[in-house]
Chains A and B, each alone.
Chain A
């Protein structure tokens, strides 16, 4: 449930679901997100511009010429959230090539974690991940939780350009760079699968909050042969 509601500036509501980051808290966030999206679409709540779910927060930005913080706070607090109404969450499989030209940070990780590349990959692939949120750049999924033995902090100096398709880990999270972008994640491989397709207007983001994701390793040969 929402622990605290405050204003983020004069045109957004900041819903705080508590300081912990786990699947239960995040499912709660996504539940509110789904309900509010539904209400906004049906015109039951007016003036909402955007809803941004994250690990443990939901930001509701609105048109200040239509509504205001106190009105929306009241509506959100009185929402009758039926926990049983859950969206169907997808299970998605992502191929990853971890050859040295794609796995850019194994030297760093070997050193930090005291594990070999094979050991890191075994722990990484042997896991189903939960999508907490998407964002920062279009369609980028924030997945968790990474095995405790392979958790590492960000690069001290972020890369100016991380190649599109790069698969990275930081702390308890894994992600995929949907576009070439600056970034500081430890890159362990690259996927040939398109995670964000702007040509798919109805559903451009392959992975959405609440979805389950597994990765599997492919050879360079399969990487180039990959066809969706």
Chain B
């Protein structure tokens, strides 16, 4: 029997495979990658009864147009996404996020766009048939690591789907609404005192705007310059997702999933773990304000975020 696969009729802007990320390789310069919005990624798997860290398709802004070949599958899309299912009788069905659908041989999924957000996720029940690289399926396009030779998907390529019995899959649904908050909570960075008192005040009082220079590596912000009174360079050292570094030009850059593993710019603050999913979804020209929380508060907020994520996941099963 021939294998089941998606034929890519339109690749979309930045369509890749992502999962929970690639760990234990920072020390040789390989970053974590992984889904930019981990919660929505998990929800996509949850709705199709997958294990939560099964690899999924991540798309940005305009998603792919996919035609199913040689089989019937069950899939779900999460995020804030406008998509259609084109049935074999030529009828177009408007798709709803956070619920699962069956798709038959020859039918298509047309992911038209994200709504006021950047990323969305498509999971299929049983998962995609891919090769693992260093215990992760995430595509890292900068180092060209992962499935599809580490490249984003192009037209006419195929994404194979594992054989899976979908007869017993019931209809699942999560009642989730993506709420975007313009407050980004941070804890103070290890170089906070490199900045003048005025800069510290500005950082927490003034608004910053997401610039057009944003991708999976990082997010450059527009806004008032932050004056450094000690040194605009530090000895290069390790970085993590969420670090807000300020180069000599005084404009903050927030590091995201595909960030460089080491860097030499002072760190004014670090975004708390619970706010990273929402941060990655902010589109250019969005205004944000930074709010300081203590480490203990950040940990409590993360606990609540985790519990909330699990509550929705349990709801779907």
Contact = CB atoms under 8 A, between A and B. Distances in A.
Contacts of A50: 23-27, 32, 240
Contacts of B32: 49-50
Contacts of B29: 134-140, 178, 196, 205
A57 B263 CA distance: 12
A135 B237 CA distance: 9
A200 to B, nearest CB: 11
B302 A10 contact: yes
Interface residues of B, number: 40
A138 B143 contact: yes
Interface string B1-31: 0000000000000000000000111111110
Interface stretch (A59-67, A87-95, A97-105, A122-130): A59-67
A43 interface: no
For A58, A134, A135, A201, the residue with the greatest tally of chain B CB atoms inside 10 Å of its CB is A135
A10 B23 contact: no
Contact of A10 (B144, B298, B306): B298
B235 A7 contact: no
Contacts of B313: none
Q: How large is the interface on A (under 10, 10 to 19, 20 to 34, 35 or more residues)?
A: 35 or more
Nearest to A55: B235
Interface stretch (B96-104, B154-162, B265-273): B265-273
Given A50-B25, A136-B29, A10 B299 contact: yes
Nearest to B25: A50
Contact of B237 (A33, A37, A55, A134): A55
Nearest to B270: A9
A8 B299 contact: no
Interface in A145-184: 178-179
Contacts of B25: 50
Nearest to B140: A138
Contacts of B134: 201
B243 interface: yes
B41 to A, nearest CB: 15
Contact of B26 (A6, A7, A135, A201): A135
A9 B240 contact: yes
For B240, B242, B270, the residue with the greatest tally of chain A CB atoms inside 10 Å of its CB is B240
Contacts of B302: 10, 64-65
Interface in B46-82: none
B120 to A, nearest CB: 24
Contact of A54 (B238, B240, B267, B273): B238
A54 B26 contact: no
A12 B143 contact: no
Contacts of B88: none
Contact of B190 (A14, A19, A179, A204): A14
B212 interface: no
B236 A142 contact: yes
B28 A49 contact: no
B228 to A, nearest CB: 17
Contacts of B190: 6, 8, 14
Given A134-B27, A134-B29, A7 B273 contact: no
20 contacts: A7-B187, A8-B243, A9-B271, A9-B272, A10-B270, A10-B273, A10-B299, A11-B240, A50-B25, A54-B235, A54-B237, A55-B236, A57-B238, A59-B26, A134-B29, A136-B262, A137-B260, A179-B143, A196-B29, A198-B143
